[in-house]
């Protein structure tokens, strides 16, 4: 049995459209420019950017990290879940 208080076809959409216009609008932040990765350059056949080449050069020239340093860094960062009992 249909309800007599149910909105007619299109009324609900009009209600939603009207409710959307009542919200204050704020300027959307500009989307960050994605940084090119090695995978991007390889997968899409792109030429690597100067920024990517500099980053790769710096990684190649950096001294290797000791196991102790890797452990210290892992324990210093709780990870995405913020749980310090499960460092990443």
The reply to whether 77 falls in a domain is yes
Residue 2's alpha-carbon distances to 5, 14, 31, in angstroms, are 9, 21, 47
Cα separations (Å) of 16 from 8, 19, 44, 72, 76? 14, 5, 41, 52, 47
Which residue ranges of the chain lie beneath pLDDT 70?
1-10, 15-33, 87-88
pLDDT at 11: 73
Taking the C-alpha atoms of residue 86 and residue 17, their distance in angstroms, rounded to an integer, is 45
* Residues of the domain holding 59: 39-88
The pair of structure tokens assigned to 6 is 């149910």
4 in a structural domain: no
Domain count, the chain: 1
pLDDT score of 2: 57
pLDDT at position 68 is 94
Q: State the pTM of this model.
A: 0.38
Would residue 45 count as lying in a domain?
Answer: yes
Distance between CA atoms of residues 1 and 85, nearest Å: 57
């Amino acid at each position: 049995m249909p309800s007599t208080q149910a909105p007619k076809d299109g009324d609900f959409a009009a209600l939603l459209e009207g409710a959307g216009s009542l919200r204050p609008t704020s300027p959307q932040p500009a989307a960050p420019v994605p940084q090119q990765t090695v995978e991007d350059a390889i997968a899409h056949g792109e030429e690597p950017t100067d920024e990517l080449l500099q980053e790769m050069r710096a990684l190649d020239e950096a001294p290797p990290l000791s196991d102790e340093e890797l452990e210290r860094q892992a324990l210093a960062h709780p990870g995405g879940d913020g749980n310090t009992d499960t460092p990443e």
